[in-house]
Amino acid sequence: MDGTVEHLGWYAIQVASKKEKLVTSVLTEKGYRCYLPLYPKRAVWSDRIKVTSVPLFGGYVFSRFDVRHRLPILVTPNVLSVVGNGKVPVAIPERDLDAIRIALQNGLAVEPHDCLEEGDVVRVTKGPLTGIEGSFIQYRGGCRLILSVPLIQRSVAVEIDRFCVEPISKRSACEHNARHKKAGISGHK
């Protein structure tokens, strides 16, 4: 693709669910440089275990292109948008993608990890608390799920494995701290 170096950048392209490989193939055929990091995921069935390569960032494909000429990308089937600030695409620093490439090329164990932050509202996905929602904090080197009874303004902290929760929504640190201050729980290490 033509474009001066200063206008070329790596961008995240949001794509339809389960269409990452297809979009990567189509964009590559159109002449765009694409990057779709994959990792091996084990699927366990009653009669066998199968390892498949799945996208590290589900729903996203990375591509290097001149942002001024993005229309051919946007009209590609299964492309939803170029990620940015509002309608303005924002380039991803190449060093961020290089770090992921290096980890994958060196055979390191890599898996998706959400950007879970303190105060985020989470839902437990595994174990005896499956389906329960609360706030996520880190306390004394471990992860805790804050379960609250707002009517009496009291909370409890339950130790939980970080990989047993998924984010539901973001909550500001101020709201989080105010909510849990009365319970005597600090969200800081």
Q: What pLDDT, on a 0 to 100 scale, did the predictor assign at position 188?
A: 36
Please say which residue of 105, 140, 156 terminates a domain. Answer: 105
Predicted confidence at residue 186, as pLDDT, reads 39
Residue 23 has pLDDT above 90, yes or no: yes
Number of domains within the chain: 2
- Alpha-helical segments (H) within 6-119: 20-29, 71-74, 94-105
Asked whether residue 187 carries a pLDDT value surpassing 50, the answer given is no
* Domain extent at residue 146: 121-181
Pairwise pLDDT comparison (70 vs 116), residue with the higher score? 70
Residue type at 29? E
Task: For the chain, give the mean pLDDT.
Answer: 84
Q: Are residues 101 and 137 in the same domain?
A: no
| In a domain? residue 187 | no
Q: Which of 76, 105, 134 is the last residue of a domain?
A: 105
Degrees to nearest 5, angle at CA 95 with 89 and 101: 105
pTM above 0.95, yes or no: no
For the segment 115-143, the average pLDDT, to the nearest whole number, is 86
The terminus-to-terminus CA distance of the chain in angstroms comes to 49
Same domain, 160 and 95: no
Of the candidate ranges 67-76, 104-113, 173-182, the one whose mean pLDDT is the lowest? 173-182
Q: Give the model's pLDDT for residue 139.
A: 77
pLDDT of the residue at 93:
93
Identify the domain boundary among 105, 139, 158: 105
Which residues, at least 6 apart from 186, have a Cβ–Cβ distance to it below 8 Å? 139, 180
Taking 70 as the threshold, does the pLDDT of residue 52 lie above it? yes
More confident residue, 174 or 45: 45
Average the pLDDT over 32-38 and give the result: 97
Give me the CATH number covering residue 36.
3.30.70.940
